[in-house]
């Protein structure tokens, strides 16, 4: 017989130490390992304005990384012998330094991933993106929150589904997602409402079947990602009166087995101005890296960043609920 716990309450869920209290209950001191990935957020400019966006990105945003900061990021990749560069935004392709970052990181021997929203390839001057990605061996990670049109358009804007399908066909046409091509195309699912994602492998099989049957589209893997209770998604929760219920759901689903694979344990995130954070979510909340290590990309020292204390907040429950959630999807079996 299962025992119903009392509701934990919004005061606990909003407390800056709530997550640390939960870690403490499990005897966990959250620290990073060595830095494998530099995640570069080049700014908030985007051709879309999705309802779940944790960046509050959109077409009217003007925050974009300068060429000088982009060069400082590449210098840090060199200095830190960074193995993986993960470029995000906004729509990162709209940053004038985007292509320089890809080329520079590849020249340093790094694996390069781009968080590509698909529809941006239909913006002026971006039509050759599939070929650019292919020619530089970029791994493409694209959000498609459902294989059904209504759900995608509800979350990402009218007409986004049709454009996304056209973009996926273009990526397939140059080899992305096609077996044996060596070109990786991964898709990202996040729940349309205040729910935890379903089982990743089951949903991946559904996506593969539906996209192949309907459109002949192929891809490599599906990443299921939990909606983080910050920014636009949190505003939505508050407007609908669902914040307490959602936070309670995340806290109750806390899975200590997910902590080892949290992305903050192997990643450093840099914003469009060059400031450093433990992850993209902390970046959006302005929670800078622990004061013991350098605050900007110019100070980046891989040795000092290894084993640093991770700065946490209640939003961290989004990463540890159920199967866990990272840039690469679920991290453990739920
Ligand atoms: S979720 Fe992605 S595509 Fe949508 S507005 Fe945010 S950055 Fe742009
Ligand atoms: S939100 Fe960031 S700091 Fe918190 S657990 Fe997730 S990755 Fe780590």
With a 6 Å cutoff on the Cβ, whether 42 touches ligand 1 is: no
Mutate to test the pocket of ligand 1, among 42, 43, 46, 231 (most ligand atoms within 8 A of CB): 46
Domains, the chain, ranges and CATH? 34-241+262-304 (3.20.20.70)
Q: What is the pLDDT of residue 167?
A: 98
Structure tokens at 318: 């989004």
Return the residue whose CA atom lies nearest to atom 1 of ligand 1: 53
- Percent above pLDDT 70 for the chain: 97
Alpha helices by DSSP H, listed for 140-268, are: 149-156, 160-173, 200-215, 231-240, 243-252
The preferred substitution site among 44, 51, 53 for testing ligand 1, maximizing ligand atoms within 8 Å of CB, is 53
Residue ranges, the chain, pLDDT below 50: 1-7
Residue of the nearest CA to atom 2 in ligand 2? 279
> Which phi and psi (to 5°) does residue 72 adopt?
-65, -35
**Res 3: pLDDT:** 40
- Nearest CA, atom 4, ligand 2: 316
Element (H, E) at 114: strand 111-115
Q: Are 176 and 130 in contact (CB under 8 A)?
A: yes
Q: How far is the CA of 281 from the centre of ligand 2 (A)?
A: 7
User: What is the chain's mean pLDDT, rounded?
Assistant: 93
CA distance 98 to 325: 26
Block residue for tokens 């700014």:
43
Q: What is the pTM of this model?
A: 0.94
Secondary structure (DSSP) of 50-112: -TT-SS--BTT---B--HHHHHHHHHHHHHTT-SEEEEESSSGGGSTTHHHHHHHHHHTT-EE
Do the Cβ atoms of 18 and 244 come closer than 8 Å?
no
Q: What residue's CA is closest to ligand 2, atom 5?
A: 316
Tokens for 151, please give them. 């759900």
Return d(Cα 80, Cα 302) in angstroms, integer: 5
């Amino acid at each position: 017989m299962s025992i119903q716990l009392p509701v934990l309450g919004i005061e606990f869920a909003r407390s800056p130490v709530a997550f640390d209290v939960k870690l403490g209950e499990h005897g966990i001191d959250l620290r990073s390992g060595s830095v494998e990935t530099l995640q570069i957020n080049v700014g908030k400019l985007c051709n879309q304005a999705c309802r779940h966006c944790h960046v509050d990105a959109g077409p009217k945003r003007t925050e974009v990384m300068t060429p000088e900061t982009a060069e400082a990021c590449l210098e840090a990749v060199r200095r830190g012998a960074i193995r993986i560069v993960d470029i995000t935004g906004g729509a990162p392709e709209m940053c004038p330094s985007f292509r320089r970052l890809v080329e520079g990181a590849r020249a340093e021997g790094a694996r390069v991933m781009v968080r590509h929203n698909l529809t941006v390839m239909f913006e002026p001057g971006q039509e050759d993106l599939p070929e650019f990605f292919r020619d530089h061996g970029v791994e493409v990670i694209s959000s498609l929150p459902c294989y059904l049109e209504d759900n995608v358009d509800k979350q990402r804007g009218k007409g986004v589904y049709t454009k996304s399908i056209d973009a996926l066909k273009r990526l397939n046409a140059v080899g992305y997602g096609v077996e044996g091509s060596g070109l990786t195309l991964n898709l990202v699912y996040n729940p349309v409402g205040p729910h935890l994602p379903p089982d990743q492998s089951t949903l991946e099989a559904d996506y593969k079947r539906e996209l192949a049957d309907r459109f002949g589209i192929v891809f490599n893997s599906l990443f299921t990602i939990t909606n983080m209770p910050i920014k636009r998604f949190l505003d939505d929760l508050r407007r609908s009166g669902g914040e307490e219920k959602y936070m309670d759901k995340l806290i109750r689903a806390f899975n200590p087995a997910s902590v080892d694979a949290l992305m903050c344990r192997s990643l450093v995130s840099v914003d469009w101005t060059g400031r450093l954070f433990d992850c993209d979510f902390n970046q959006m909340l302005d929670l800078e890296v622990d004061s013991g290590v350098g605050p900007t990309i110019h100070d980046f020292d891989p040795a000092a960043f290894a084993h640093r204390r991770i700065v946490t907040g209640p939003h961290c429950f989004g990463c540890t609920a159920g199967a866990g959630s990272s840039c690469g999807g679920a991290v453990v079996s739920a």
